[in-house]
Chain A
Amino acid sequence: MAATWIKPSTRPEPIEDLVSGVDRYNPSNVSILEDYLYHQIRSEEYDLLANLAILKLYQFNPDLYNPDVVINILIKALAASPLPDFNLCISLLDERTHPSTLDEPDPLPSTLPQLKTLQSLLFRCRFPAFWATFQSEEFENLRDNYTVEVAGFENAIRQVAIRAVKATFTHITSERLGSYLNLSGNDLTSYVKGLGWTIDSSNGTITVPPNPDNQIEATVVQEAIKLPQLSKVISHAVKA
């Protein structure tokens, strides 16, 4: 999994050269990376290292700063929880001491706390709270201007919830799962079927297929004694 985190299979060749080489520091390349970001947004792909390269260029060249790009990168990183992607992006957002060169007021200072709240809810697996907050009035700006552009945002968040559920449950009630996914009734049923999970229609319990995380067994870690360890003892006995 790490391999795809570092280098997604969907990353095109020129981007790969850019990200792995010294050219990533060249300010004139920022538009290539920004276009790639918009490609990711439209086609439900995700490439962390390329997005971090954009943020690094902004770090060194404050006049290139584009708040919409930053917000979009953060939104994309939300869907990667519990990986540390979101935090890594924030680490690269330096304090802005230069006067703004933008035409409109900077939307980042107001949206950043909102995004941080969402991220913390996701990391703490508070999925119902996440949906409630996300749908609330305060977040209208975020929803209408940003997340609506990101294709498949809600499904990506659902994936986060599914990952957590897969690891923890063998059976889960549909109400609970529905609250985590913000789906109910037929939507929920079809989504679950789409995942390949089975629903027991009599009591609404969903069976989570076995995976390494939710199969538990008590293990006793036995010591494995290897031959080389005994070589000295055995050779001594042979000599005598």
Chain B
Amino acid sequence: MAQQRTQLWAAEADIDEDIDLNLAIGTYAQNDYEEASLQQPIADATLQAMQAHLSQQNAFAQIPDAVKAFIVHFHQAVLDNNLAEITIAYESGWNKFTEKFYAKTEWPEAELIAPLVNDDPIFLILYRELYYRHVYSRLQPNIDDRFHSFENSCELFNYLLNSDGPVQLELPEQWLWDIIDEFIYQYQVFCSWRSKVKSKTEDELVMLAEGGPQVWSSYSVLNVLYSLMQKSKINEYIAAQREGKSAEEIAEIVGEYGQRPLYRQLGYFSIVGLLRVHVLLGDFTLALKVMDNIELNQKSPFTRVTACHVTTYYYVGFCYIMLRRYPDAIRTFVTILNFIMRMKQYHTRSYQYDQISKTADRMYALFAMCHALSPSRLDDNIANIAKERFGEQYAKMSKGGEDALASFEELFLYACPKFINANSPPYDDPAAIQSLLAPPTPAEASAVDGSSQLDATHRHLQLFLSDVAAQSQIPTLRSFLKLYTSLGAPKLANFLDADEEEMVQEMMVVKQASRSFSRVPGSSSPGLLDGETITTSDLNFVIAENMVHITESTVGRRYAGWFIKNTERTQKILDDLKTMPLPATRAPGQPQQQPQQQHQQQGQRESKKVGWAKTA
């Protein structure tokens, strides 16, 4: 009521005003009448509303014109489903304006710019998605931001999944991936923020008690991802493609949602999203199982979005590490790190490049750990870079023994994903929260302190370290075994200053460590969990009663590649020489006669040259 009245006298400031103006005029008489009769009590409220509206008008006026124009243009592109324009606006436009005007502050609120876009709810939802993404990445989100961003995400997915039939929107792939990525990222930071009970203010505790369990709950996140997968029937689509079904059959299998690229891409990215969520919750087998239908090679669709590509390989490699499948992990990391190295020259766009470099760095750390645990002669290039970057830790880890553990811990904490707890602390139960905040005994206090901050990460770290500790003697033993072809067990025990029986058992561990489950390249089954037992070490041994027999497998000299390369190069040089014209030599001072002479000379030389080629 008061709103409409003020809108009338400040009508000039708004851009598309026609409709509103008519409405306002139509009810003006009524407003006036009501105003008159309720003069006193409303005065304050209207005054405040007017002031709020004034400040809003001010804020609106402060938005630079360039930004306003950009928003209108962006909106138009979205309405027209003009994919090329949307891509440009999204990738370069938004970032440009962020850098220029909003590097340290938030973009204008959605309500402020709503008049520019005719209050289009869909565009406003998308705008809010970008707005909150900016808040989370550049600024510190407060509890309101967190709750509202969750609501916005729910609205967006609701719109996509629960409208009557598939929506007609088209968005670039990069944006779709970013939506899913950001959704999971906000979920993850919320969970880690939520588990820090001690640092909450009174208000926050109240808000968490009321809204807590629903906001960013694990079930709702999983629900969104699974629904996207099911609606788009992405798994059936991939299976049908692999079987080579025709386009009509595929269209029938995937239904009306699956045919639209928007849903298909969202479904595809949801699979990668699920991989990530399961790793964060500690379920590594399920994470790999979810990826059953996606082939990890350079031709898969997810490679089209670089960030998605890198993320996938990082999480798959990490799962393999936790499954003790170090050769598989090494192979995964080598593939992606090679790709990133080649890609570095082309993709130096700011925001993505930073994140990809950071992930690459963590992968080098993980690679160094795996290589220390399961040395193999794979890709020396990557191994060299990893050694450069993490030289000190790598040296300690390869030697084994006590120091190694500290290095493993350091690198693991640096490189692991930010694990989360599936459940929140019991904010809705005040007694429980009190006991968490003010534990009765000092022992519990220290347990709560340490555990609430890092507990999921800590748990996984401990599991990993216990594996590593079990293998810490192996490098020493291996170095001894390398020196002999057969060795008596008592003698070996003497070298190591260890009890013979202990040592024999340790040998069994060495043998065990040199066998690993691994995916055999070229195998037909697409699942990532499949594999066979393979040997990972060159050193092999057997114990016959008390005698240890040792063999080592070596790699013969590889000469073929070098010879072939040089042969081809020589041939190329030869070919070039044959077809190259001889250089014309010009004696100074006789320019006119020279050309004729040269021509003759060249002719002679050329005939000679031809002769030469024939004899070759």
Q: Verify if A125 is at the interface (C-beta below 8 Å from B).
A: yes
- Shortest Cβ gap from B305 to chain A (Å): 26
Question: Looking at the complex, which one of A48, A94, A168, A229 makes contact with B422 (CB distance below 8 Å)?
Answer: A94
Cα separation A109 to B422 with both chains bound (whole Å): 20
User: Which of the candidate stretches A33-41, A54-62, A189-197 sits at the interface with the other chain?
Assistant: A54-62
Q: Verify if A165 is at the interface (C-beta below 8 Å from B).
A: yes
Q: Mark B504-515, 1 if CB is under 8 A from A, else 0.
A: 111111011001
Cα separation A49 to B283 with both chains bound (whole Å): 10
- Shortest Cβ gap from B197 to chain A (Å): 9
Contact A90 B459 (CB under 8 A): yes
User: Which of the candidate stretches B11-19, B334-342, B424-432, B591-599 sits at the interface with the other chain?
Assistant: B424-432
Given A2-B517, A60-B219, A60-B423, A91 contacting B282 (CB threshold 8 A): yes
Cα separation A197 to B533 with both chains bound (whole Å): 23
Q: Verify if B413 is at the interface (C-beta below 8 Å from A).
A: no
Q: Verify if B466 is at the interface (C-beta below 8 Å from A).
A: yes
Q: Verify if B527 is at the interface (C-beta below 8 Å from A).
A: yes
Contact B544 A170 (CB under 8 A): yes
Contact A120 B455 (CB under 8 A): no
- Shortest Cβ gap from A218 to chain B (Å): 4
Question: Looking at the complex, which one of B422, B505, B529 makes contact with A59 (CB distance below 8 Å)?
Answer: B422
Residues of chain B contacted by A220 (CB below 8 angstroms): 553-556
Most buried by A among B436, B460, B508: B508
Q: Verify if A138 is at the interface (C-beta below 8 Å from B).
A: no
Contact A216 B423 (CB under 8 A): no
Q: Mark A157-182, 1 if CB is under 8 A from B, else 0.
A: 00000001101111111001001000
Given A91-B463, A123-B470, A216 contacting B549 (CB threshold 8 A): yes
Q: Mark B445-485, 1 if CB is under 8 A from A, else 0.
A: 00000010001100110010011001000000000000000
Given A59-B281, A233-B568, A126 contacting B505 (CB threshold 8 A): yes
Given A2-B532, A171-B544, A164 contacting B426 (CB threshold 8 A): no
Q: Mark A96-131, 1 if CB is under 8 A from B, else 0.
A: 011100000000000000001000100111111000
Q: Verify if A205 is at the interface (C-beta below 8 Å from B).
A: yes
- Shortest Cβ gap from A234 to chain B (Å): 10
Contact A84 B532 (CB under 8 A): no
Residues of chain A contacted by B226 (CB below 8 angstroms): 22
Contact B432 A95 (CB under 8 A): no
Contact A87 B426 (CB under 8 A): no
Q: Verify if A134 is at the interface (C-beta below 8 Å from B).
A: no
Q: Verify if A30 is at the interface (C-beta below 8 Å from B).
A: no
Cα separation A20 to B561 with both chains bound (whole Å): 46
Residues of chain A contacted by B558 (CB below 8 angstroms): 223
Chain B, 26-43, CB within 8 A of any chain A CB: none
- Shortest Cβ gap from B515 to chain A (Å): 7
Given A60-B219, A236-B571, A125 contacting B509 (CB threshold 8 A): yes
Contact A167 B515 (CB under 8 A): yes
Chain B minimum-CB-distance residue to A97: B425
Contact B286 A56 (CB under 8 A): yes
Q: Mark A4-20, 1 if CB is under 8 A from B, else 0.
A: 01100000000000001
- Shortest Cβ gap from B35 to chain A (Å): 55
Contact A168 B529 (CB under 8 A): no
Contact B515 A221 (CB under 8 A): no
Contact B554 A221 (CB under 8 A): yes
Chain B minimum-CB-distance residue to A229: B564
Cα separation A225 to B218 with both chains bound (whole Å): 53
Cα separation A88 to B561 with both chains bound (whole Å): 43
Contact B283 A56 (CB under 8 A): yes
Chain A minimum-CB-distance residue to B229: A22
Question: Looking at the complex, which one of B222, B283, B436 makes contact with A92 (CB distance below 8 Å)?
Answer: B283
Chain B minimum-CB-distance residue to A219: B553
Question: Looking at the complex, which one of A52, A167, A171, A218 makes contact with B553 (CB distance below 8 Å)?
Answer: A218
Residues of chain A contacted by B322 (CB below 8 angstroms): 84, 87-88, 91
Cα separation A227 to B529 with both chains bound (whole Å): 34
Cα separation A144 to B288 with both chains bound (whole Å): 37
Cα separation A127 to B285 with both chains bound (whole Å): 28
User: Which of the candidate stretches B236-244, B359-367, B535-543 sits at the interface with the other chain?
Assistant: B535-543
Cα separation A91 to B550 with both chains bound (whole Å): 37
Q: Mark A61-102, 1 if CB is under 8 A from B, else 0.
A: 010000000000000000000111001101111110111000
Contact B553 A84 (CB under 8 A): no
Contact A87 B463 (CB under 8 A): yes
- Shortest Cβ gap from A104 to chain B (Å): 20
Contact A218 B467 (CB under 8 A): no
Residues of chain A contacted by B507 (CB below 8 angstroms): 168
Cα separation A165 to B557 with both chains bound (whole Å): 35
Contact A99 B429 (CB under 8 A): yes
Known contacts A84-B323, A94-B421, A167-B511; 4 further A-B pairs (Cβ under 8 A): A49-B289, A120-B470, A124-B470, A240-B616
Name B's A-contacting residues (CB within 8 A). Answer: 218-219, 222, 226, 230, 281-286, 289, 322-324, 421-423, 425-426, 429, 431-432, 436, 451, 455-456, 459-460, 463, 466-467, 470, 501-502, 504-509, 511-512, 515, 517, 527, 529-533, 540-545, 549-561, 564, 567-568, 571, 616
Name A's B-contacting residues (CB within 8 A). Answer: 1-3, 5-6, 20, 22, 25, 48-49, 52, 56, 59-60, 62, 82-84, 87-88, 90-95, 97-99, 116, 120, 123-128, 164-165, 167-173, 176, 179, 205, 213-223, 225, 229-230, 232-233, 236, 240
- 20 A-B pairs whose Cβ atoms sit less than 8 Å apart in the complex: A1-B517, A48-B285, A49-B286, A56-B286, A60-B218, A84-B323, A92-B282, A97-B436, A98-B426, A98-B429, A116-B466, A123-B466, A124-B506, A164-B512, A176-B501, A216-B540, A220-B554, A220-B555, A223-B557, A232-B564
